[in-house]
Amino acid sequence: MSKKRTLFKVLSIALMCAMLFPLTAGAVSYPIETDDHGLSYWLPMQPIASKYLASYNEHMIFKIINENTGMNVNFLNASTADAATQLGLLVAGGELPDILQIRTLYPGGAAAGVSEGIFADLTPYIKEFAPDYYAAITTSDLAYRLATDSQGRILAFHIIKATAPAFNRMNYLQEVMDDLQLDIPATIADCEEDFEAMKQKGMSGVLINANGQQDIFMWPFGITPGWCLDENGTVQYGQYTQSYKDYLTLMNKWYSAGYIYKDFMSSMTDAERRALFTNKVVGMFPDAVDLANSAAAASGLNSQPLPYVRLTDGQALHFEVTNAQALPEPSMATVVSAASKNIEAAVQYLNYYYTKAGADLCNWGVKDVYYTEDANGVKTFTDMMLNNPDMPLGDVQMNFKLHLQAKLAEPDVVCNPNVVANEVALEKRMRYSDDTAIDGKQVLPAMEMNPEASEARSDIMTDINTYVDEMTLQFIIGLKSLDEFDNYLAQLKSMGIEDAIAITQEQYDAFMNKPGIPN
Amino acid sequence: MQTTPQADLRVKPGMLFRFRRDLKRHPMVYVMLVPVLAYYIIFHYLPMFGVVIAFQNYKPAKGIDGSDWVGLKNFITFFNGPYAGRLIRNTILLSAYQILLGFPAPVLLALAFNEMRGRRYKSLCQTLSYMPHFVSLVVICGIIRTFSSSTGLITVIMSWFGHEPMNLLAQPHYYRAIYILSGIWQQIGWGSIIYLATLSGVDQSLFEAADLDGANRLQKIIHINLPVLVPIIAVQLIMRVGNIMSEGADKTILLYSPVTYETSDIISSYVYRIGLEKQSYSTASSVGLFNSLINMGLVIFANWFSRTYVKESLW
């Protein structure tokens, strides 16, 4: 792909995002006028940030947001690794901070917390105290439905973003490709040829997820891990389909042939997994394209992202989430505690992240220090961001801007320093964005289920998830014969999977029929 | 012998009197006891009231007072579920193997150390055997995982004997052996200290008498050293049997993976997963309560067994 074409694509995405971003509603003024300027905010801390900061109280952007909003926010940090456990203990302890970034960590989500009385229903506050957020979630009926629960209530602040093509792909090293004279694989059969060549060289072909459920290899079989839609738009559970047997058969064949890294099921950190790739222990590696690129570059190597492989050339795949439209998604769900003494100020504070000033701080950092903006509003990172002598490029995202945050987000191809740092990285990121045989038709929307349905499904799925994880690995490494797959399906049925599917279908139908933006 | 209520009345003032007299004589001893008592009251007795959530659909937000009562539903759900039998079996088997193999190991090591004559060599061996105890369990498990991987040291050695290289920790049938042998390696030295201390107090005249009777070293071990160790072995065994269902979750969580759940998943790891990761506190509490009741029964049984057959007991 030519540089010009890549640039055109990225600019198109940037322009599209800019057009979709709501104009500032502007009914709230900052600094916030309130008697009590103190707020507390529970926020899982990213490992990269914790390399440099003792807590988010020291984070430059949060400090500036404190100044701009006039609030004195005290951050309570949890490590990302056991954030769910710590959130559980925090809730059990009873004394909640004013704001919590619950992400998808709280069982039943924000709706469950509101019905239990620990999180505040924000519906009465949003229009008045968070007009910018309200504007962002009312850009379309779909956006509004995603931002509200089954009763139409607004319970959380979500990250709102348009997404460029998905950033996770399989990756090769150019050096391995040259050494073994490999081409970019297009089909499963191509992969097998490559893996055989790698095996002859003493390498493992591919490192798959530790639970053996590798989405990219499931997609050609018409499924993805967990909840999704079938070809007719009906809810299905990927691991409870006959197609799953086809996927497992392939994985078992690859494992037996020595194509899959033998210890893939071991608990490894991301760094350990990447080291297997950069040390050429494995040939094909699933990772975010930009991270694989920077990890390879750090070892003096050159990674190459791969297209999604198919059973046959040109096969249509329906599981990539690419939203041209800026939509809310629950991965950074942030709620306000029902016990907060200053809910209005908390809502106003969170609204700041959806104002232009707040979003620019989050997405770009400090103006004229980390980025510049020309007369046409086009922003460009400075060397302080892209070539900082004190911090590697992979780390600046977490330290000089706010990445994982409920905010109005711009896509990574526009403002992720790791991606936009150089034309090569950006080109890699965008390389397959013109693949027209890919869409998200079978992706189940990230809908907010009602608490009762969520709890009922969770009760069923706890043991089922354990069983699926266990059996998947046993099928792949050959401890269980695939002749027993029907028994596996029967066991899932006896454990109540069909009730869980029925619950999900009902919730999906309700979501699709839910009213959109109120008049 | 049965006591009458009158007999009880006669005893109680006596006990109180003795307590007061002892308190006056040794006040500092009782002062030293206070933190220990406080620890047990605060961290072991008061939290017991929390087991009530095992009978509720506990929601932290609603608290114990506000959560709905569900009676025995959590217990029924657990026992009707697919994993109750497997969890109980795995827990008991892992503990039983540890008692069978892991419990005698420090005793044997202590006896061996006691027989060693070269002082410098003896202290070197002792120090080396204690060292793994001081290494963090996380590090120990990291070493185990590395050595057991498909290219790990143990796997390579096994491959010299024709064993196909594979990740040993991904094989359910190897899991218990790895778990128990690594546990013995880590704790054998530290566990032997208490027995060595006991052996150091043996009356030397017994050995002189045995020498006069012409006893060899093995006979002296069997007839002098082992009987001396019996009381401490009995107490340790009762304590260990009492924890048979309480095999710690930490090492299991660090070593297991879904592929070995068949043999590795135990009650405490399940409670951890369900309680803390899935935040299903009531289910986890009901399983934990069941576990504790079984443990209590086992302690009572072990104490009775020891009192009856070994003539040594905790009460």
CB A519 within 8 A of CB A483: no
Q: What is the pLDDT along chain A (519 residues), one digit of tens a residue?
A: 455 555 555 555 555 555 445 444 556 789 999 999 999 999 999 888 989 999 999 999 999 999 999 999 999 998 887 888 888 888 878 789 999 999 989 888 899 899 888 999 999 999 999 999 999 999 999 999 999 998 899 999 999 987 777 788 999 999 999 999 999 999 999 999 999 999 999 999 999 999 999 999 999 999 999 999 999 999 999 999 999 999 999 999 999 999 999 999 988 889 999 999 999 999 999 999 988 998 999 899 999 999 999 999 999 999 987 767 789 988 999 999 999 999 999 999 999 999 999 999 999 999 999 999 999 989 999 999 999 998 888 788 889 999 899 999 998 888 988 888 778 888 988 899 888 899 889 999 989 898 899 989 988 998 899 999 999 999 999 999 999 999 999 999 999 999 999 999 999 999 999 888 887
> Following CA atoms B22, B26, B30, B31 in sequence, which dihedral angle do they give, to the nearest 10 degrees?
150
Does the beta-carbon distance from A85 to B167 stay under 8 Å? no
Confidence of residue B222 (pLDDT cuts 50, 70, 90): very high
CB A147 within 8 A of CB A514: no
Does the beta-carbon distance from B280 to A210 stay under 8 Å? no
pLDDT one-digit tens code per residue, A137-162: 999 999 999 999 988 999 999 999 87
| CA A354, chain centre distance (Å) | 19
Q: How many CB pairs under 8 A join A and B?
A: 85
Residue of A269, A337, A465, A466 best to disrupt the B interface, most CBs of B under 10 A: A466
Q: Which residues of A touch B253 (CB under 8 A)?
A: none
Question: Touching check for A440 and chain B: CB below 8 Å?
Answer: no
B59, B62, B257 ranked by CB distance to A265: nearest: B257
Does the beta-carbon distance from B258 to A91 stay under 8 Å? no
Positive/negative CA dihedral, A356, A47, A414, A309 = negative
pLDDT one-digit tens code per residue, A277-335: 999 999 999 999 988 998 999 899 999 999 999 999 999 999 987 767 789 988 999 99
Query: Starting from the edge strand earliest in sequence, which strands make up the sheet with A303-305, in order?
Result: A204-206, A282-288, A168-173, A303-305
Angle (deg, nearest 10), helices A451-477 and A485-494: 160
Q: Which of B217, B222, B229, B234 shows the shortest CA–CA distance to B193?
A: B229
Rounded to an integer, what distance in angstroms lies between the CA atom of residue B111 and that of residue B200?
11
Does the beta-carbon distance from A118 to B258 stay under 8 Å? no
Q: Which two tokens stand for residue A149?
A: 């629960």
Helix, strand, coil proportions of chain B in percent (round to 5)?
A: 80, 0, 20
A91, A263, A462 ranked by CB distance to B60: nearest: A91
Question: Touching check for A275 and chain B: CB below 8 Å?
Answer: no
Q: Which of B153, B173, B146, B151 shows the shortest CA–CA distance to A474?
A: B173
Task: Give Cα separations from A233 to A492, A515, B14, B169 (angstroms).
Answer: 22, 20, 82, 41
Question: Touching check for B82 and chain A: CB below 8 Å?
Answer: yes
The pTM assigned to this predicted structure is 0.82
| CA B88, chain centre distance (Å) | 16
Q: Which of A412, A409, A408, A398 shows the shortest CA–CA distance to A352?
A: A408
Residue of A470, A494, A495 best to disrupt the B interface, most CBs of B under 10 A: A470
Does the beta-carbon distance from B169 to A107 stay under 8 Å? no
Question: Touching check for A373 and chain B: CB below 8 Å?
Answer: no
Beta strands in A279-377 (DSSP E): 282-288, 303-305, 327-336, 371-373
Q: What is the DSSP letter of A335?
A: E
Question: Touching check for B61 and chain A: CB below 8 Å?
Answer: yes
Rounded to an integer, what distance in angstroms lies between the CA atom of residue A56 and that of residue A45?
7
Rounded to an integer, what distance in angstroms lies between the CA atom of residue B151 and that of residue A153?
55
The C-alpha of B57 sits at a distance from chain A's nearest C-alpha, in angstroms, of 11
CB B230 within 8 A of CB B309: no
Question: Touching check for A265 and chain B: CB below 8 Å?
Answer: yes
Q: Which two tokens stand for residue A23?
A: 């104009």
| β-sheet bridge partners, residue A288 | A168
Q: Which residues of B touch A92 (CB under 8 A)?
A: 60, 281
Does the beta-carbon distance from B261 to A466 stay under 8 Å? yes
Rounded to an integer, what distance in angstroms lies between the CA atom of residue A348 and that of residue A191?
52
Rounded to an integer, what distance in angstroms lies between the CA atom of residue A303 and that of residue A288?
11
Name the phi and psi angles at B140, rounded to 5.
-55, -45
| β-sheet bridge partners, residue A79 | A45
Interface predicted TM-score (ipTM) of this complex, two decimals: 0.77
Does the beta-carbon distance from A473 to B259 stay under 8 Å? yes
The C-alpha of A190 sits at a distance from chain B's nearest C-alpha, in angstroms, of 27
Q: Which of A144, A143, A236 shows the shortest CA–CA distance to A497?
A: A236
The C-alpha of B21 sits at a distance from chain A's nearest C-alpha, in angstroms, of 44
